[in-house]
Structure 1
Amino acid sequence: MSVSFNHTIIGAHDPAASAEFYLEVLGARRTEDWGPFVNIVLDDDTLLQFATAPVNDPIHLAFLMNDDEFDRGYAALRRRDVEHWADPQMRRPGEVSTDDGRRVYFRDPSGHLLEMLTQPYV
Structure 2
Amino acid sequence: MPIELNHTIVQSRDKHAAARFVGELLGLEVGAPFGPFVPLVTDNGVTLDYATSDRSDIPPQHYAFLVSEKDFDQIFGRIQEAGVTYYPSPALDRPGEINHRDGGRGAYFRDLDGHVLEIITRPYGSGPAS
TM-score computed with the length of structure 2 as normaliser: 0.88
- What amino acid maps onto 1:115 in structure 2? E
Can you give the 5+ residue segments of structure 2 that lack an aligned partner in the other structure?
126-130
1:1-122 to structure 2, matched below 5 A, reads 1-53=1-53, 54=55, 55-100=57-102, 101-122=104-125
User: What percentage of aligned pairs have identical amino acids?
Assistant: 39
* Number of aligned positions between the proteins: 122
Q: Which has the higher contact order (CA 8 A, sep 6+)?
A: 1
Structure 1 Cα separation of the partners of residues 120 and 101 of structure 2:
11
Give CA deviations for 1:17-58 in whole Å, capped at 9, x if unaligned. 111111111122232312111112111111111001124311
User: Is 2:58–2:113's contact at 8 Å kept on the other side of the alignment?
Assistant: no
Structure label with greater radius of gyration: 2
Give CA deviations for 1:99-120 in whole Å, capped at 9, x if unaligned. 3210101000010011100000
TM-score computed with the length of structure 1 as normaliser: 0.93
SS at match of 1:29: coil
User: Quick check: 91-100 or 9-18, which moved more?
Assistant: 91-100
User: Quick check: 29-38 or 59-68, which moved more?
Assistant: 29-38
Q: Which runs of 4+ in 1 moved over 4 A?
A: none
